[in-house]
Amino acid sequence: MRESERGDEDYGLFGPGSVTWHVMGEPVLIVGGVRALLLQALHPRTMWGTAQNSELMDPSAAWSRLARTVEFVRVRTYGTRDEVERIGRRVRKLHSKLTGTDPRTGEAFPVDDPENLLWVHLGEVDSYLDIARRAGVPLTRADADAFVDEQRRAAAVVGLDPADVPASVAEMRDYYAMMRRDIFACDEARLGLRRMFNPAVPRRMLPLKLAAPAVGTLVVSTLPRWARRMYGLPGLPTSDLAATLTLKGLYRTTRVLPERYRYSPDARRALELTRGLDDAGWPVAS
């Protein structure tokens, strides 16, 4: 896949023909978003910085905090460059004012430390890509590498230098191999995992609470085996297979729905714009 020339129209960071637009609109990617939270929580300073500064650990306020995160991802994916810059500037300003404390040493650290930001960024990229591929979203190896590379633009939105961010699946795999010796499931991460199975939700969202155990089981099963073991859970190949089969079933089920129900307005617009390209990735004249 390749992105079309934008011309005078502002498609934001990605645009028609990008792998990002091809992947991110699929409903099954909701699983990837939750998986990312569990993976991100395994970096202790990232988790401590979140727990000490964020409403995410407050059951009464967690949903509004989560809604803001979802909106950030939406704007970053589909917004114009001005919209992306505004929301990015707001996030960078907020993070620049926050610090966390390492409970082991009492040392203070900035929440926007590049190591923390990179871990959070790649937790998203790895999770979205892993779920998309296992669910059966059509992606070649080149597409997968292109997705990782495109997401370096998203990394810049939170303040990272794209040159310091992995640009391929292999580079991302090497990064995780390097980081595994420094991460673990702290008490706050384990608490977050338990709450996922029994979330405090607004009354209007009670059905979600009833579905939480099944959804939580699926999400946990999609984590890398080493991540599941860090949480004290089995990291069995049979769990990987069961999760993959479930994801494929979910993806196929959503494909039965008409597009107006299957996709968000932003995703539908992205799909329509992408259909306006020829096979080489150039805009089709109207």
What are the percentages of helix, strand and coil residues in the chain, rounded to 5? 65, 5, 30
Delimit the domains of the chain by residue range.
19-255
Poorest-pLDDT segment among 47-51, 65-69, 93-97, 130-134: 65-69
Give the other-Cβ count within 10 Å of 96's Cβ. Answer: 12
Q: Is the pLDDT of residue 7 over 60?
A: no
201 pLDDT band, cuts 50/70/90, is: confident
Burial of 43 (0-12, 13-18, 19+ CB in 10 A): buried
Q: Read off the pLDDT of residues 217-233 as tens digits, 9 standing for 90 and up.
A: 999 999 999 999 999 99
pLDDT band at 98 (very low <50, low <70, confident <90, very high): very high
Averaged pLDDT for residues 133-160? 98
> If residue 125 lies in a helix (H) or strand (E), which one and from where to where?
helix 114-135
282: helix, coil or strand?
coil
Q: What is the pLDDT of residue 79?
A: 97
pLDDT band for 284, please (50, 70, 90 cuts): very low
pLDDT at res. 64: 78
What gap in Å lies between CA 235 and CA 109, rounded to an integer? 32
**pLDDT at 167 > cutoff 80:** yes
pLDDT at 276: 74
Compute the average pLDDT of residues 126-143. 98
